[in-house]
Amino acid sequence: MGASLPVLFRRPAILWSALAVAVAAAVVTVLLVVPGADDGPADGHGDYLDASLPIDERVADLVDRMTIEEKIGQMTQVAVPAIEANPAHVREYGIGSLLNGGSEALHETPEAWAAMIDGYQAEALDTRLGIPLMYGIDAVHGNTAIPSAVVFPHNIGLGAAHDPELAGRAAEVTAAETRAAGIHWTFAPCVCVARDNRWGRTYESYGEDPGIAFEYAGPVVEGYQGDDLTANTSVLATAKHYVGDGGTAYTSSTTDDYLIDQGVTTLTEDELRTLHLAPFRAAVDAGVGSVMASFSSTDLGDGPLKVHADEYLLTDVLKGELGFDGFVVSDWQGVDQISDDHAEAVRAAINAGIDMVMVPFEYQRFTSTLLSEVESGGVSEDRIDDAVSRILTQKFALGLFEQPYADTSGAAEVGSDAHREVAREAAAASQTLLRNDGDLLPLTGQESIYVAGSGADSIGRQAGGWTASWQGSIDPPTHGTTILAGIEEVAPDAAVTFSEDASAPVDGADVGIVVVAEDPYAEGVGDAGAGEHDMTVSEADAAAVDTVCGAIDCVVIVVSGRPIDIEPHLDGVDALVAAWLPGSEGAGVADPLFGAVPYDGRLPVSWPRQLEDEPLNVGDPDYDPLFAYGFGLQTA
């Protein structure tokens, strides 16, 4: 399918820089206070306030009224921890956007989130022109910053389900549970194409073939954005990470610094277009409102170039060839990676086509630097006007000028049974049956069942990274149903014994279920070789498999964000299931296990025999996986 996609552009190679989470020390030089910021809110006059006019006319009118300082403020996105001690800086600097930086969830309820955001919104509206701010968050598989929100399978599981329409419905639920908290914008979907499973971000990809991401991008963007962005069930979507982040090369240095998330994608231009650009065309065609630039670099043979500084990719290809009319946002401190010289980095990024800069801390330095660049001619005011016009277009489309404050009328639906049912359906559809000797599955539900393994009773492991916090955690505050609880719910007549380490006697059980799992992680930290995440079965889980599967008929369920090195542990295993990262609804894992729905998942990535076989992708010479791309046994 990927080979049949259109060739889209010219230029390859990409380097991903891991999100650096904290940079507290702000090197502040000039306090850039927006002229007129203390003059009070807009006086109710101006065509831009006339909701009956076309958006482009409102944008043009507003831009004409803005000072250069106000324009630069709109191009600035700041992390809440950087500004919470000085909320008036939203007004004083005319800041256009705030974000939740992937830290622990700040508030327990949608209403509390909305109240916090509305407080900052009041500061934004108390300016000369009253331009509302836009708040963004990484709601990549549910709005996991709210403990009661539904958590969906990560993209790799949705890819295994081979059902773009279902993924679109998951995005609809996520959008509703995000906008109900007063949040306008999600940094999703990730439409990367993962070409090396050692990449810690593999689980955010729909698979290794561009055809999967190409098929999913449109329905998921439409799910987030809906038919009407002003609705309290819609959020602005972000196609990320543009472009080629999933193709970065895996290398290791003498200091054991493994570079894949912060690597370089080296391909021919045709390969880059075919493998990595195609999904972005689908997202643009679906009307995606924003695109996030990749940390990575491309190397087409003339040396690596950061995407954040690549005018060809950002302006000529994305905005020109593909016709993208939304705005490009940088990734977390991504502009700073262009050069150690801050002025040079800012100049290169803005001229390349970055419209909004996720600073996220040193906003005083950024705004004063960009102002100096405009005054010196390093960045033209036409480029600034283009960036600001793109940003304001989306703010008008979101209806923020008419409804700047949160509409929490949908808060009661956050975590509702109806929403959880969609997540359970998605989890069940993603289950991929890789072995079923003797047709052991589905079980009848009448058995005596022995359950073991680190993933059996762990919301944190089954939800993975980007759940309540950036890297996820073993014990997040997330509400949900573990796989063990799902088994007990779906098979209430079964006699279930649980022993995580399989230390309890196995005698008397009819069948064993061992749920092996990766601990949660996100990019960088999750790269194989970068730490504890080495894509192997833990010693404790391996011992549980040996104990249980050596004694009775046995099912092994793998909870992971990518294929892991499972072949050494398959002796005595009768059935093998890839559950991926199923999210908060563990009953979805149990549904096909007991025949409530059939197994119908198919591998969205090739499963290697050993880690050393990576990178391994369908179509490679001498392709010899343990389980091939697209493989999956079905049950009735």
One-character DSSP codes across 274-330: IIIIHHHHHHHHTT-SEEEEPS-EEESSS--EEGGG-HIIIIIIIIIIS---SEEE-
Cα–Cα distance for residue pair 190/197, rounded to 1 Å:
16
Catalytic residue among 92, 447, 523, 553: 523
CB neighbour class for 272 (10 Å; exposed up to 12, middle 13-18, buried from 19): buried
Given a contact cutoff of 8 angstroms between Cβ atoms, the answer to whether 195 and 275 are in contact is yes
- Specify the residue for token string 């889209």: 8
Q: How many residues does the chain have?
A: 636
Cα–Cα distance for residue pair 42/58, rounded to 1 Å:
14
Structure tokens at 335: 């502009």
- For the question of residue 523 being annotated catalytic, the response is yes
- For the question of residue 402 being annotated catalytic, the response is no
Strands 553-559 and 238-242: unpaired
Please state the three-class secondary structure of 399-421 as a single string: CCCCCCCCCCCCHHHCCCHHHHH
ω into 241 cis (within 30 of 0) = yes
Provide CB contacts within 8 A for 353, sequence distance 6+.
311, 314, 315, 318, 319, 328
Phi, psi (deg, nearest 5) at residue 393 = -55, -40
Catalytic residue among 123, 138, 196, 331: 331
Number of H helices, E strands in the chain: 19, 19
Given a contact cutoff of 8 angstroms between Cβ atoms, the answer to whether 545 and 118 are in contact is no
Rg (CA), the chain: 25
Cβ burial 46-57 (10 Å sphere, 16+ → b, else e) = eebbeeeeeeee
Element housing 516 (H / E): strand 511-517
Given a contact cutoff of 8 angstroms between Cβ atoms, the answer to whether 70 and 94 are in contact is yes
Cα Dmax for the chain: 81
3-class secondary-structure state, position 435: strand
Given a contact cutoff of 8 angstroms between Cβ atoms, the answer to whether 41 and 122 are in contact is no
Cα–Cα distance for residue pair 239/314, rounded to 1 Å:
13
Angle at 303 between CA 302 and CA 305, to 5 degrees: 115
Give the catalytic positions in this structure: 331, 523
